[in-house]
Amino acid sequence: MRQRSLIAITAALAAGALTLTACGSRGGDKGSDSGKGGTTVTIGVDAPLTGDLSALGLGIKNSADLAAKTANKKNYVKGVTFKIEARDDQAQPSAGQQNATALVADKNVLGVVGPLNSSVAESMQKVFDDAKLVEVSPANTGPSLTQGPDWRTKKVRTYKSYFRTATTDAIQGPFAAQYLYNDAKKKKVFVIDDKKTYGAGLAGTFTDEFKKLGGQIVGTEHINPDAKDFSAIATEVKKSGADVVYYGGEYPQAGPLSKQIKAAGSKIPLVGGDGIYDPTFIKLAGADSTGDLATSVGAPVESLPSAKQFVADYKAAGYKDEYAAYGGYSYDSAWAIIEAVKKVVDDNGGKLPSDARAKVTAAMQNVSFDGVTGKVSFDEFGDATNKQLTVYAVKNGAWAAEKSGTYTG
Amino acid sequence: MSGVGPVEPGEGTRASDTPGPDSASGGDPRLRPREALLSGLVSRYERHRRAALAATAAALLLAGGGYLYATRPHQLPPPAPEPAPPPPYPSQVVDVAYLEPAPAPRDAAPRSFGLTVLVSVSAGPPVTVTRISQPYAGLALTPEPLPPLRIAAGTARKIVITMRVTECGKVPESAGLPFLDVTLRNTRAIEVHSYILGSRYAHALSDGLHVACGNDFR
């Protein structure tokens, strides 16, 4: 029995030692403590997560998720843990509106990142505004969303809960026109659009400026967004004698359109906006897309040190999909919501007030921080104050930056 | 006490304490010294049982402590100082804003007019403006003061742009968002960046062109 006493003591000591060892190894992982908050705040995400535009939508979702995880890791808002609730709008306004209603019904949602499409945004704005739920789009470029339907003559903000980090087509279209007319020396353009809010709007602002500069519109056409056969339009383009095609729309149609125009014998570039600035466009358009152009919002990633950090963090996080054209803007949109929540919590003694949604929406107007895409803040219409644009060209099977501009007006 | 638990045997009551049949019968004489040694050790242990247990416990504690000490998380060497971030690209720290119309210089050619812009640098190393140009055919531009112009962070320089119409038929009568191309250089890079100066600049440019060309537009 004395041996049993020895065994018991030995076992107790061994157990103690193992326990202490285990504690020691856990203590080295300081990150495990982060994110323990008393309150969970949900950031809604609405984007096309399936369908033709999912490459852009998944980049939006993942980038917003990265912002939430970064805030949790840093314990950026004390007592608050952020999580993402992502909903698929399939680029359809009706689905977007349903998602908006569902997000409004979830009381933990204090802000929404999205959507991708301006037409979808139109269907969501009122739902969010009625609930005083702030919405920050990383990708909508339609001017009327912030400046009202008569933005050309009189700018009026319709929804105080709507903000965006991307710049507008009121700048993007003219920027493309200036580049094509002055730098690329194109004088005769054939303009095509997909009749949607974004595509038709962009084609409109481009056309106005191209004409003002002295350029000639040698033809216009509208396509069905579901179409894939553009051979009739390609023939028309060839007959028109255009030296460039401008397309207002998105890459699922722009890629085949470019391919079929070249196949019909017109070796002229197709030019579009941020909606075609995606590697998928090049895949769809094929080898003859070399020389095609796209304008996109923001400066090239390689010229922004903050964006390099984002790219590294995105890679380290192990997302399957690319962050795509709007990754940086999506991260900044989510981070703007996080900043607004932080302001509201700090002003309320470290807790969320009962009217948190209205207060977060009000706080968003004064948010200002150095984001992935540069300084992030909003003007009186909810538009980004940082208005940079870049022209990209297809070179060696990839998009390469040609020229960047900043709107300072 | 309720008597729960094993009852400790008394000295000499254990099987091992009792002389075995071999010892009773004398057995193999070669085993006797070993048995005697064992018996001595056991009886010594019995006499110093508490001390032996304490010593064993102390040894185990020391061993455990030593193990923990040896396997403690080692203090990491102080991280190497982060390399200084490279300076920003010049276009990320330069702002160009339109201020107001300016009188054309006295010695300016006919069909000339002036526009004042402000070039400011917000951060980083000094930025040198090496060239200012505009993209329209039929229009030539002269900045005053002439580049190169070195501008330090936190400062700004006013520059008067004198526009001279060389061919009215080639200038845009009313461009919506005209821009200036500015070549910028700092220790990081040389960049040609377009500055779209907004609607006030567009109107001023258009007004200047109308005065210069009258009805001679294409």
Within a domain: residue B2?
A: no
Same domain for A155 and A174?
no
Specify whether B58 is located in the same domain as B94: no
Whether residue B148 is found in the same domain as residue B192: yes
The residue segments making up the domain with residue B97 are: 90-213
pLDDT of residue B21 exceeding 60, the answer is no
CA distance B187 to A134: 41
- CA torsion sign for A90, A93, A97, A100 is positive
A263 and A337 part of one domain: no
- Taking an 8 Å cut-off on Cβ atoms, the answer to whether A407 and B198 are in contact is yes
Residue where a domain stops, chosen among B70, B104, B134: B70
| Cβ-contact A213, A181 below 8 angstroms | yes
Question: How many CA atoms does the CB half-sphere of A13 hold within 13 Å?
Answer: 20
- Across the interface, whether the CB atoms of A403 and B8 are under 8 A apart is answered no
Burial of A174 (0-12, 13-18, 19+ CB in 10 A): buried
Q: Evaluate whether residue A7 is within a structural domain.
A: no
Residue B83 in domain: no
Q: Do B60 and A1 touch (CB under 8 A)?
A: no
Range from A21-35, A214-228, B19-33, B201-215 carrying the lowest mean pLDDT: A21-35
Is residue A18 in a domain? no
In a domain, B79, yes or no: no
B164-185 burial code (b ≥16 CB/10 A, e <16): bbeebeebbeebbbbbbbbbbb
Answer yes or no: do A270 and A327 share one domain: no
Last residue of a domain, one of B42, B70, B98: B70
Is A20 among the domain residues? no
**From B53, B98, B174, residue closest to A6, measured CB to CB:** B53
A73 plus A117 within the same structural domain: yes
- Residues of A within 8 A of B135 (CB-CB) are 178, 182-183
Give pLDDT, residue A323.
Answer: 92
Are the beta carbons of A409 and B64 separated by less than 8 Å?
no
Dump strand ranges (E) for A270-338: 270-272, 293-297
B108 confidence band (pLDDT: 50, 70, 90): confident
Within 13 Å, how many C-alpha atoms sit on residue A16's CB side?
A: 13
Residues A112 and A144 in one domain: yes
A54 φ/ψ sector (left φ>0, alpha ψ -120 to 50, else beta):
alpha
Residue B79: the pLDDT is 62
> How much is the average pLDDT of B50-58?
72
Q: Looking at per-residue confidence, does A393 or B108 come out higher? A: A393
The verdict on B31 and B118 lying in the same domain is no
B97 with B201, same domain: the answer is yes
Residue of B136, B176, B134 whose CA lies nearest to A143: B176
**Which element (helix H / strand E) includes A394?**
strand A388-395
Is there a domain that residue A207 lies in? yes
CA dist., res. A242 & res. A233, Å (int): 13
Q: Do both B94 and B61 map to the same domain?
A: no
Which member of B72, B177, B192 has the closest CB to residue A175?
A: B177
pLDDT of residue A373: 86
Decide if A122 contacts A92 (C-beta within 8 A): no
ipTM above 0.85, yes or no: no
CB atoms within 10 A of CB A319: 17
Structure token digits, residue A178: 């200036």
For residue A174, is the peptide bond before it cis, meaning its omega torsion is within 30 degrees of 0?
no
Residues A158 and A234 in one domain: no
Is residue B109 located within the same domain as residue B64? no
Closest CA–CA distance from residue A301 to any residue of chain B (Å): 12
> Is the domain of A262 the same as that of A284?
yes
Torsion (CA) B23, B26, B30, B33 in degrees, nearest 10: 50
Please indicate, yes or no, whether residues A212 and A356 belong to a single structural domain of this protein. no
- Please judge whether B196 and A407 are an interchain contact, meaning their C-beta atoms are less than 8 angstroms apart: yes
Of the pLDDT bands very low, low, confident and very high (cuts 50, 70, 90), residue B75 is: low
Residue B201 and residue B95 share a domain = yes
B56 and B113 in a single domain? The answer is no
- In a domain, residue A45? The reply is yes
Domain with residue A216: its CATH number is: 3.40.50.2300
| Residue B9 clears pLDDT 80, i.e. is over it | no
B97 and B50 housed in the same domain: no
In degrees, rounded to 5, the angle at the alpha carbon of residue B66 between the alpha carbons of residues B65 and B70 is 120
Confidence band for B24, pLDDT divided at 50, 70 and 90: very low
Q: B61 and B110: one domain?
A: no
Number of domains present in the structure of chain B:
2
CA–CA gap between residue A292 and residue A140 (Å, rounded)? 23
Of B166, B154, B165, residue with least CA distance to B207: B165
What is the C-alpha to C-alpha distance for residues A7 and A226, in angstroms, rounded to an integer? 78
CA distance A287 to A289: 5
Size of interface A-B (CB pairs under 8 A): 119
B8, part of any domain: no
CB contact under 8 A, B60 and A208: no
Q: Are residues A134 and A266 in the same domain?
A: no
pLDDT mean by block of 10 residues, chain A; 409 residues: 47 43 34 55 98 94 98 96 98 97 98 96 98 97 94 93 93 94 96 94 95 95 92 97 97 97 97 94 97 91 80 95 92 98 97 96 96 90 91 97 89
Task: Give buried/exposed letters for B102-118 (b at 16+ CB in 10 A, else e).
Answer: bebeeeeeebbbbbbbe
- Does the structure show a pLDDT above 50 at B34? yes
Peptide bond before residue B145 is cis, with ω within 30 degrees of 0: yes
Q: Is the pLDDT of residue B115 over 80?
A: yes
B117-153 confidence digits (pLDDT tens): 999 999 999 999 999 999 888 999 999 999 999 999 9
Query: What is the 3-state composition of chain A as percent helix, strand, coil, each rounded to the nearest 5?
Result: 45, 20, 35
B62 and B118 fall within a common domain? no
CA distance A71 to chain B (A): 22
Is A75 found in the same domain as A127? yes
Pairing of β A388-395 and β A293-297? antiparallel
CA-CA distances (angstroms) from residue A409 to A166, A230, B97?
Answer: 16, 39, 7
- Helix axis angle, A197-212 to A169-178, nearest 10°: 40
Range of the domain at A344: 39-167+303-378
Task: Output the domain CATH number for residue B101.
Answer: 2.60.40.10
Cα–Cα distance between A22 and A16 in angstroms, integer? 10
Residue A115: cis peptide before it, omega within 30 degrees of 0: yes
Total number of domains in chain A:
2
Asked if residue B35 is part of any domain, the answer here is yes
Give CA torsion, residues A225, A275, B194, A185, to 10 deg. Answer: -40
Residue A99 lies in a domain: yes
B92 pLDDT tier (thresholds 50, 70, 90)? confident
Residue of A nearest to B72 (CA): A24
For residue B27, pLDDT over 70 is answered with no
pLDDT tens-digit series, residues B38-51: 666 666 667 677 77
| A123: three-class secondary structure by DSSP | helix
Q: Do both A84 and A118 map to the same domain?
A: yes
Number of Cα atoms under 13 Å in the Cβ half of residue B97: 8
| Chain B interface, best mutation among A26, A178, A297, by max B CB count within 10 A | A178
Domain membership flag for residue A21: no
Based on the fold, state whether residues B109 and B209 are members of the same structural domain: yes
pLDDT score for B216: 64
> Tokens in use for A130?
């009625």
A339 and A271 within one domain: no
Instruction: Name the closest residue on chain B to residue A2, using Cα atoms.
Output: B8
